[in-house]
Amino acid sequence: MQNTIDRRPQVEFEDFCQRVVPGGFILDAGCAGGRDCRAFVERGFSVIGIDLSAEMIKLARDIAPRCRLIEADVRQIPLADQKVDGIWCCASLLHLQRDQTVRALREFRRVLKVGGICCVIVKEGSGEEVVEYEQGKPRFFTYFRREEIQKRCYCAGFSLLDEHISSGNPGHRRDGRTQNWISLLMKT
């Protein structure tokens, strides 16, 4: 967790915040340890964070105590239809198997208000793999080509507003490889 606490994608975060209704309701889908939840609250947004990991939700409660945090799956979000103004999904879809990503994106579309904003950030590449990180815990990753993740977003009913490709952080992986990040800013 400490490895990512200061690595929020700043350009994408700023663009997302400027496009979401001021003071709006944001869902941090795959909130991990709460870094972005806390940052959204500091910007005046109401925030709910979900993560499948009970351990991550526990960490998030310490970092973002003013947020509603729920252990939940992004493929089955426990919110009513058209409930949120914005969805922030930073480095979460990449932990799903490829055939589950459209299901999650359709859930995003379901809970997002008409005209709502969604930002999805995934790792660029191809294939799937299990990677052992410094913490010693293996983690599953799905990598996407730009056109592929765009097509999945379109299939879920989103319109693309902007996209950005940024370079990965060197030294983050044990094998020394870096990968680019693909960021898609979309609306319903």
CATH of the domain at 33: 3.40.50.150
Q: What is the pLDDT of residues 129-179, one digit of tens each?
A: 988 876 677 889 999 999 999 999 999 999 999 999 988 765 454 556 678
| Torsion angle of the four alpha carbons 173, 186, 109, 103, in this order, in degrees rounded to the nearest 10 | -40
pLDDT above 50 for 118? yes
The pLDDT, as a whole number, for residue 34 is 97
Q: What is the pLDDT of residues 41-85, one digit of tens each?
A: 999 999 999 999 999 999 999 999 999 999 999 999 999 999 999
Domain that holds residue 33: 2-187
Helices (H), the chain: 10-19, 35-42, 54-63, 101-111, 146-155
Q: Do residues 60 and 34 touch, judged by C-beta distance below 8 A?
A: yes
pLDDT above 80 for 8? no
**AA identity, residue 135:** Q
Q: How many domains is the chain partitioned into structurally?
A: 1
Q: Which helix (H) or strand (E) holds 57?
A: helix 54-63
The pLDDT, as a whole number, for residue 134 is 67
- Six-digit token pair at 120? 């999805």
Q: What is the pLDDT of residues 90-100, one digit of tens each?
A: 999 999 999 99
Q: Do residues 16 and 45 touch, judged by C-beta distance below 8 A?
A: no
- The CA distance from 103 to 71, in Å, is 18
- The CA distance from 18 to 59, in Å, is 27
Phi then psi for 3, rounded to 5 degrees? -65, -20
**AA identity, residue 182:** I
- In the DSSP assignment, the letter for residue 134 is T
